[in-house]
Amino acid sequence: MSVIDEKGKFLGKVNAIDLFILLVIAGAIIGLIWTKTGHSSLNKKVGAEGPAEVKIAIRGARIEDLKMFDRYKKAFIIIRNQPFDNVEIVSVKAWRRPLTFYVPEQKKPMRFENFEDSLSTDVDIVIRSNAQFTTDDPPSIVMGGNKVKAGIPIELETLEYKFTGSIISVKMPGVIN
């Protein structure tokens, strides 16, 4: 006697396809219960959870009115082309980019105000949002399923602007200062 007969029945009683589907459903239910009770390896890697501050540098932005950053206290961000969420804007520092020339006689660079291009602006924005600190090796800070660290491209968007910049620092008070 074989395990599956010529009619496709397991031990002559249950259809083999139905038995396979029943086993897959049972495995999925057991897996969900296992992860919800805290036995998942992902749950063990989160060492801390709380607010993280991310400093973003936007270089060479074309802006007429520097006060447009003051009108918004929240912005939507996209990290590594993945939409995240609205985040709180903590601080904005914007300045017109000066021209820098090296003066051989004085053996040092000198800065001059750029009168030709009054729209060339550099902006540093600090945002705050909830994040997780993982105990991986090396440890990392995760926002919206993405590891955030210096050099990662990020987009900020409000009603008036959408800029692409890069992260220059990440801090999580009490964990990484």
Show pLDDT as tens, one digit a residue, over the chain (177 residues). Answer: 577 777 777 777 778 778 889 899 999 999 888 877 766 655 557 777 889 999 999 988 888 877 787 788 888 999 888 888 889 999 989 888 788 888 888 889 988 877 777 677 889 999 999 988 887 767 788 887 788 889 999 999 988 889 999 999 999 887 776
Is there a single domain that holds both residue 146 and residue 165? yes
In a domain, 111, yes or no: yes
Q: What is the pLDDT of residue 50?
A: 86
Burial class of residue 87, CB neighbours in 10 A (0-12, 13-18, 19+): buried
Q: What is the pLDDT of residue 14?
A: 77
Q: 129 and 145 in one domain?
A: yes
Its pTM stands at: 0.67
Looking at the structure, do residues 76 and 22 belong to the same domain, yes or no? no
> Phi, psi (5° rounding) for residue 101?
-130, 145
* Residues facing residue 120 across a β-bridge: 62
In a domain, 120, yes or no: yes
How many domains is the chain partitioned into structurally?
Answer: 2
Q: Nearest Cα to 140, choosing from 54, 50, 47, 68?
A: 47
- Do residues 30 and 68 share a domain? no
Whole-number Å distance between alpha carbons of 123 and 106: 30
Task: For residue 161, tell me if it sits in a domain.
Answer: yes
What pLDDT was estimated at residue 40? Answer: 62
Domain extent, residue 80, equals: 47-171
Q: Are residues 55 and 29 in the same domain?
A: no
Give yes or no: residues 18 and 62 share one domain. Answer: no
Per-residue pLDDT, 43: 55
User: What pLDDT score does 68 carry?
Assistant: 81
Residue of 146, 110, 129 lying closest to 51 (CA atoms)? 129
Considering the domain architecture, whether residues 23 and 69 belong to the same structural domain is answered as no
Q: Say if residue 23 is in the same domain as residue 54.
A: no
CB atoms within 10 A of CB 129: 17
Residue 7 and residue 29 share a domain:
yes
Q: CA-CA distance, 49 to 52, in Å (whole number)? A: 9
User: 17 with 100, same domain?
Assistant: no
Instruction: Please check whether residues 31 and 75 belong to one and the same domain.
Output: no
